[in-house]
A and B are shown apart, each in its own frame.
Chain A
């Protein structure tokens, strides 16, 4: 997925429909991330100003949620479910095999690809499950995940 680069004008435009939302901070952060792929540091001040809340509040929300990110995502993304139902059909082994094939470690940062642990995609009868570039994969294998 490709995103436009950060611009305060575009961000202002993204936030404007949210003016009347009660409790807008999380939604505002999500909207910014949806538009730009991440939350630029300047978005914190912009959201605080737009909705008349403190920067500390915005920052607190930004750092609380696993989904919100403060730097652009690498071009490729692999999320592997490592929760119980997928463990029972070999997700631990799948993680090891993917790490070996790509020569990278899960949950570490790389410029070109992100390999992350995930906790349930609701596909627990067809595990192991993975989400690759936004696409859900059932009965995941090293081949399917790294294809």
Chain B
């Protein structure tokens, strides 16, 4: 009987050798006349264990990792096909503490299945939500999403159900569903992994949204930096069309829904929803002023649902298992689960899905294992380039929308980036300003020019020129950017800058530099 071996085809795993590992396993099996079937699953999210090789045994999936190409022949020597002992043996995958401590809802199938097998997808609970949705009317679906408490995972946390209701109630001959898969934030990769590992979940979520509001066309706006995800998404759409999940009659219902991938062109600000719409319309990615909201006048002026990948990918579970099951998780007004991403200088980085309300400490130390370098942790940036820098006194903060805002930061897309004690927060603040200058769409003077001015001013502080006066000037400039910017690019760049100044004042004295 053929033994099933899983080797991820996630781009992060491939970036450190997963393809070589898979090829060597195949070669070695032939050499030893062993019958193996290699399934290229998505990553299970423990990027620190990649390449994570799993063998399906009678007890379940037994994991080995991180496997380097040079480990392959010794794995065979240790009879890993029977789950044999080896220095890289990790036991049953689901019993590894890092996985066992998670609560996977949106990421339920991620890493378990062959991403492009619709059969695997259905065997693991796929399409249950969409099958239910086509028997309901739009208001029922929207009410369920509203009751679940699901909020926008792209960063702003706006209630998804309320947004959908706006689109549902807007009369129009054409409506659209657009998935924001621009994932520009450094330190975030959960959209990418979901698309590479379980693209049918996103398709199902978008189809449910379309059925709910009566949209017939959808777009996935995917960044060009993610070539593997682009190919996988397109392949999945083709398979879904062939199977009748997409097309003129969604699962045999009266609803039509077609879906297309559009590739970004290297602009961070095109992740902002109105710039994304401009880009989808083929134009320069310049921000539109709101109102009108995209929900009323979005793509080509039509009512449009715009949601992040994770928002849409959470919908199938909400509909399949009911709003109450989803809303039973979390805390306060942050209900359900968040897919956190542990990144940067971290020993055990990857994706942690848990209910909101876990502490930063638990994420960073219990799951993350502290810094990769082994040096003391000094700073954590939460929520991407527009998010705040925290110091170790903040480790007790509860990871939910309200608590992070109260602590002077934001959750954003859930990225958590660690820095050890070699970091210089004045340099980080300067980078925040430089990045804003580079990516500004150019519409507002405070964002376009203020950011360049800001970077120069921070450089003066670093060089020790008129430090107190330049610090005041910088704070002033931050206020002008916050008040005078049309969108969060210019409006939130002061957040990393000011939090760095407040939480790490010793780096802004212009003197002793490390």
Q: Taking beta carbons and an 8 Å cutoff, which residues of A are in contact with B?
A: 21-28, 30, 57, 60-61, 64-68, 81, 83-89, 118-127, 129, 131, 134, 136-139
A84 touches B417 (CB 8 A): yes
Q: How far is the CA of A145 from the CA of B469 in the complex (A)?
A: 43
| Interface flag for B146 (CB, 8 Å) | no
Cross-interface CB contact of B226 among A24, A25, A64, A122, cutoff 8 Å: A122
Cross-interface CB contact of A118 among B11, B15, B225, B435, cutoff 8 Å: B225
Q: Which residues of chain A have C-beta atoms less than 8 A from B192's C-beta? A: 122
B341 touches A124 (CB 8 A): yes
> With A84-B344, A120-B186 given, is the CB distance from A30 to B263 under 8 Å?
yes
Cross-interface CB contact of B342 among A87, A125, A136, cutoff 8 Å: A125
Q: Which residues of chain B have C-beta atoms less than 8 A from A68's C-beta? A: 265
Q: How far is the CA of A113 from the CA of B14 in the complex (A)?
A: 24
B344 touches A127 (CB 8 A): yes
Q: How far is the CA of A7 from the CA of B280 in the complex (A)?
A: 27
Q: Which residues of chain A have C-beta atoms less than 8 A from B184's C-beta? A: 119-120
Cross-interface CB contact of A125 among B191, B284, B346, cutoff 8 Å: B346
29 residue pairs A–B, Cβ–Cβ below 8 Å: A21-B282, A22-B281, A23-B280, A23-B300, A25-B283, A28-B282, A64-B284, A65-B266, A66-B266, A67-B264, A68-B265, A84-B417, A84-B428, A85-B417, A86-B186, A87-B428, A88-B345, A119-B186, A122-B11, A122-B183, A122-B191, A123-B12, A124-B349, A125-B341, A125-B343, A126-B12, A126-B47, A129-B15, A131-B225
Q: Which residues of chain B have C-beta atoms less than 8 A from A21's C-beta? A: 282
A23 touches B283 (CB 8 A): yes
A66 touches B381 (CB 8 A): no
> With A23-B280, A24-B282, A26-B282 given, is the CB distance from A85 to B186 under 8 Å?
yes
Q: Which residues of chain B have C-beta atoms less than 8 A from A120's C-beta? A: 183-186, 188, 225
B11 touches A123 (CB 8 A): yes
Chain B residues touching A, majority SS: mixed
List the A residue with the shortest CB-CB distance to B229: A122
A122 touches B385 (CB 8 A): no
A67 touches B47 (CB 8 A): no
Q: Taking beta carbons and an 8 Å cutoff, which residues of B are in contact with A?
A: 11-12, 14-16, 47-48, 50, 183-189, 191-193, 224-229, 262-268, 279-286, 300, 341-346, 349-350, 372-373, 381, 385, 415, 417-420, 423, 428, 431, 435
Q: A21-B282, A85-B343 are in contact. List 14 more A-B contacts (CB 8 A).
A: A22-B281, A24-B282, A26-B283, A60-B284, A66-B267, A84-B344, A118-B225, A119-B435, A120-B225, A122-B193, A124-B417, A125-B47, A125-B346, A136-B15
Q: How far is the CA of A68 from the CA of B229 in the complex (A)?
A: 20
A64 touches B267 (CB 8 A): yes
Q: Which residues of chain A have C-beta atoms less than 8 A from B15's C-beta? A: 123, 126, 129, 136-138
Nearest Cβ in chain A — how far from B365, in angstroms? 16
> With A84-B385, A85-B417 given, is the CB distance from A30 to B11 under 8 Å?
no
Q: How far is the CA of A138 from the CA of B10 in the complex (A)?
A: 12
Q: Which residues of chain A have C-beta atoms less than 8 A from B188's C-beta? A: 120, 122, 124
Q: Which residues of chain B have C-beta atoms less than 8 A from A66's C-beta? A: 265-267
Nearest Cβ in chain A — how far from B116, in angstroms? 19
Nearest Cβ in chain B — how far from A123, in angstroms? 5
A22 touches B300 (CB 8 A): yes
Q: How far is the CA of A83 from the CA of B188 in the complex (A)?
A: 11
Q: Which residues of chain B have C-beta atoms less than 8 A from A121's C-beta? A: 11, 225-226
B189 touches A123 (CB 8 A): yes
Interface centre among A26, A60, A65, A120 (most CB of B within 10 A): A120
Nearest Cβ in chain B — how far from A126, in angstroms? 6
Q: Which residues of chain A have C-beta atoms less than 8 A from B267's C-beta? A: 64-66
Q: How far is the CA of A24 from the CA of B262 in the complex (A)?
A: 11
B265 touches A65 (CB 8 A): yes
Cross-interface CB contact of B282 among A61, A85, A124, A129, cutoff 8 Å: A61
